[in-house]
Amino acid sequence: MRAPALLLLLLAACSTESTGPDAGAVPAPVLRFTYAGPESGSFVAEGAPVPGAPQLQQTFAQGRRSLGTHRDFEILAVARRGASAADLVTIGGLPQAVGTHVVDARACDGSGPSCPRVLVGLDLPTDGRAAQARASCSLETGTVRITTWSSTRAVGVLSGTGRCTMIDGRVVDGFRITDGRFDVALTDVRS
């Protein structure tokens, strides 16, 4: 009689619902957004980079905080696209502070913390060949809003419109990013 009672207790314990992650648990780094235009889809990079592994052969999102002259912040994210290709995103030139930062390619030369830029390489080969993306896209206008900033983490949203240079050399307008969200751990980089 004791065995069935013990079995019932074990089954009851296994069937209780989880309350989710610990309150102090740190979420996995992530960058995600929807894109449309000459290429359409969703970009999702979640997880931390594996040290020593080739960047284009893993999926990750990472924030990098510059300790150099510019004191800027960037996000580097890679999402695998099957066994032999990946998408690569860099969001850079951001100040290390909470706020809304305007992407304006006409007014910026693409360098420094006061010149936000968003670059997207779609379908890059990962086999060591010369890496030419099927589409290399950039935002011409938009916003990157940092909603939370600390010495270890950055959280925010992004959106905007731009253009893509296709692998055949054509430049196509109408690229847009919507529903962009990031939550990344920060690594200090000396530049």
Domain membership of residue 176 (yes or no) is yes
Asked whether residue 145 is assigned to any structural domain, the reply reads yes
Do the domain assignments include residue 98? yes
Domain count along the chain = 1
Question: Nearest-CA neighbor of 153 among 21, 27, 24, 49?
Answer: 27
Instruction: Pull the structure tokens for residue 100.
Output: 């809304």
Residue 114's pLDDT is what?
Answer: 72
Q: Identify whether 106 is part of a domain.
A: yes
pLDDT tens per residue, the chain (191 residues)?
332 222 222 222 222 332 333 445 567 899 999 999 999 999 999 999 988 888 888 899 999 988 876 678 899 999 998 888 899 999 998 888 899 999 998 887 655 557 899 999 999 888 766 668 899 999 999 999 999 999 899 999 999 999 999 999 999 999 999 999 999 999 888 76
Q: Is the dihedral of CA 188, 150, 112, 87 positive or negative?
A: positive
Is 159 part of a structural domain of the chain? yes
pLDDT at 112: 53
Predicted local confidence at residue 44, as pLDDT: 97
Q: How many CA atoms lie within 13 A of 170 on its CB side?
A: 7
Domain that residue 140 falls in: 25-189
Instruction: Indicate the residue type of 188.
Output: D
Q: How far is CA 54 from CA 37, 92, 122, 186, in A?
A: 29, 21, 17, 19
DSSP three-state, residue 56: helix
The pLDDT value recorded for residue 128 is: 65
Q: Would 71 be classed as within a structural domain?
A: yes
- The pLDDT of residue 63: 93
The pLDDT score that the predictor gives to residue 149 is 93
Residue 43: inside a domain: yes
Decide: helix, strand or coil at residue 123.
strand
CA-CA distance, 141 to 124, in Å (whole number)? Answer: 24
**Across 13-97, where does the E strand assignment appear?**
30-36, 41-46, 60-66, 72-80, 85-95
